[in-house]
Amino acid sequence: MTHDRRRRSRRAWAAVVAAVLAVTGAAVGAAPASAVPATIPLTITNDSGRGPIYLYVLGERDGVAGWADAGGTFHSWPGGVGPVPVPAPDASIAGPGPGQSVTIRLPKLSGRVYYSYGQKMSFQIVLDGKLVQPAVQNDSDPNRDILFNWTEYTLNDDGLWINSTQVDHWSAPYQVGVQRADGHVLSTGMLKPDGYQAFYTALESAGWGGLIQRAPDGSVLRALNPSHGIDVGRISSAAIDSYVTDVWNSYRTRDMVITPFSHEPGTQFRGRVDGDWFRFRNGSGQEVAAFTKPDASSVYGCHQDLQAPNDHVVGPIARTLCAALIRTTALTNPNQPDASSAGFYQDPRTDVYAKLAHQQMANGRAYAFAFDDVGAHESLVHDGDPQAAFIRLDPFTGTATPIGDGGTTQEPNEPDPGTGLPTGTGTIRVDGTLCLDVPWADPRDGNQVQLATCSGNAAQQWTRGSDGTVRALGKCLDVAGSGTADGTVVWIYTCNGTGAQQWVYDDGTKALRNPQSGKCLDAQGGAPLHDGQKVQLWTCNQTAAQRWTL
The residues carrying an active-site annotation are: 152, 168
Burial of 220 (0-12, 13-18, 19+ CB in 10 A): middle
DSSP code, position 397: S
d(CA 367, CA 225): 11
Residue from 198, 214, 206 nearest 235 by CA: 206
- Kind of pairing, strands 64-68 and 53-61? antiparallel
Q: How far is CA 185 from CA 315, 400, 476, in A?
A: 32, 16, 28
Q: Which residues contact 218 (CB under 8 A, 6 or more apart)?
A: none
Residue from 257, 494, 260 nearest 375 by CA: 260
Burial of 50 (0-12, 13-18, 19+ CB in 10 A): middle
Dihedral, 485, 491, 497, 500 alpha carbons, nearest 10: 10
Q: How far is CA 466 from CA 57, 392, 422, in A?
A: 45, 35, 8
Residue from 345, 349, 339 nearest 495 by CA: 339
d(CA 462, CA 114): 48
First-to-last C-alpha distance (Å) of the chain: 60
Residue from 138, 210, 199, 192 nearest 171 by CA: 199
DSSP code, position 53: E
